[in-house]
């Protein structure tokens, strides 16, 4: 990642931590009571994690990491934001849930983590758009994963992200699906989790990766795809017309004429 992109994104996410940790979106108060914020799909797909070593990539301030640890996994969370790691460590101590947190970008993990260390490598919801290089990402995953181990990702579908997120009545194409790796510069005053306070560090850089690139980079490093699923609903209100269901996901109205994939999941194993 070019230094200017990395530095801008890190400053942006460092500032987000304070806003997110007190937002209704993340609802830390409820998490402290339940000690679980995982959604239905990732829990079903990974099943019992008791006693397994689990590496959580791009863990933000650790709520999902601590949720897996509370279910019995031996968890290490990684994020490039120093403020996120501090908050994760604070939550771990406050809730008395043991987990290790490391500040690092994805591409440095091959130097920081011994090879074949984890039974599970997990990453979820809003991660791939922040990575310029999926080849390096896939190499880091297979480096950290034990033979026979499981990699699991659930994230926003790149096709669902080509539409204008502010269009209230219809899906309007705004972005290209195939970008050739081109970076997109954004300047956003607010985050998806908090619309009350304005960010000082508003500039951020993102990348769109088509599904074929995601899958093929995993295959190229020797991972075997166990499943690939697409879902016509989202983990957050990605478009104004989506409504929240009791299962925690956001769906198109039943009479909405077009339904597009909004999320995907991949489960893969290392031989």
User: HEC string of 153-201?
Assistant: EEEECCCHHHECCCCCCCCCECCCCCCCCCCEEEECCCECCECCCCCCC
Q: What local confidence, expressed as pLDDT, does residue 16 receive? A: 94
Q: What local confidence, expressed as pLDDT, does residue 174 receive? A: 93
CA-to-CA distance for 154 and 95, rounded, in angstroms?
26
Exposed/middle/buried for 47, CB within 10 Å: 0-12, 13-18, 19+? exposed
Q: Does residue 145 contact residue 118 with C-beta atoms inside 8 Å? A: yes
CA-to-CA distance for 155 and 126, rounded, in angstroms?
6
Mind giving me the DSSP string for 30-85?
HHHHHS----HHHHHHH---TT-EEEEES-TTSHHHHHHHHTT-EEEEEES-HHHH
CA-to-CA distance for 26 and 125, rounded, in angstroms?
13
Can you give the pTM of this predicted structure?
Answer: 0.95
CA-to-CA distance for 242 and 226, rounded, in angstroms?
30
Residue 1 confidence (pLDDT) above 60: no
- Topology of domain 3-270 in CATH is Rossmann fold (3.40.50)
Q: Where are the beta strands (DSSP E) in 84-143?
A: 100-103, 118-124
Rounded mean pLDDT, 248-261: 94
Q: What local confidence, expressed as pLDDT, does residue 105 receive? A: 94
Q: What local confidence, expressed as pLDDT, does residue 206 receive? A: 95
Rounded mean pLDDT, 77-92: 98
Residue 98 confidence (pLDDT) above 60: yes
| CB atoms inside a 10 Å sphere around CB 4 | 10
Rounded mean pLDDT, 90-96: 98
* Alpha-carbon distance values, 271 to 79, 146, 149, 192 (Å): 27, 9, 8, 38
Q: Work out the percent of the chain whose per-residue pLDDT is above 70.
A: 99
What are the structural domain ranges in the chain?
3-270
Q: Does residue 109 contact residue 143 with C-beta atoms inside 8 Å? A: yes
CA end-to-end span of the chain: 29
Where residue 194 falls among pLDDT bands split at 50, 70, 90?
confident
HEC string of 82-100 equals HHHHHHHHHHHHHHCCCCE
């Amino acid at each position: 990642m070019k230094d200017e992109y990395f530095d801008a994104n890190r400053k942006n996410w460092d500032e987000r931590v304070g806003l997110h940790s007190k937002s209704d979106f993340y609802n830390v108060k409820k998490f402290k009571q339940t000690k679980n914020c995982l959604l239905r799909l990732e829990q079903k797909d990974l099943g019992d994690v008791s006693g397994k070593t689990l590496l959580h990539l791009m863990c933000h301030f650790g709520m999902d990491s601590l949720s897996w640890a509370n279910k019995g996994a031996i968890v290490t969370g990684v994020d490039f934001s120093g403020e996120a790691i501090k908050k994760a460590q604070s939550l771990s101590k406050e809730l008395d849930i043991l987990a290790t947190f490391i500040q690092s970008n994805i591409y440095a993990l091959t130097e920081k983590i011994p090879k074949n260390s984890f039974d599970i490598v997990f990453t979820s919801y809003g991660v791939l758009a922040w990575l310029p290089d999926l080849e390096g990402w896939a190499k880091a995953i297979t480096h950290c994963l034990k033979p026979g181990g499981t990699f699991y990702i659930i994230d926003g579908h790149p096709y669902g992200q080509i539409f204008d997120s502010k269009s209230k009545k219809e899906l309007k194409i705004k972005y290209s699906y195939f970008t050739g790796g081109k970076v997109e510069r954004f300047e956003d005053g607010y985050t998806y989790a908090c619309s009350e306070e304005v960010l000082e560090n508003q500039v951020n850089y993102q990348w769109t990766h088509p599904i074929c690139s995601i899958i093929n980079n995993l295959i190229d490093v020797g991972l075997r795809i166990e499943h690939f699923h697409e879902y016509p609903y989202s983990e957050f209100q990605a478009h104004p017309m989506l409504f929240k269901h009791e299962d925690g996901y956001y769906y198109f109205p039943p009479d909405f004429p077009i339904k597009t994939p909004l999320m995907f999941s991949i489960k893969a194993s290392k031989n």
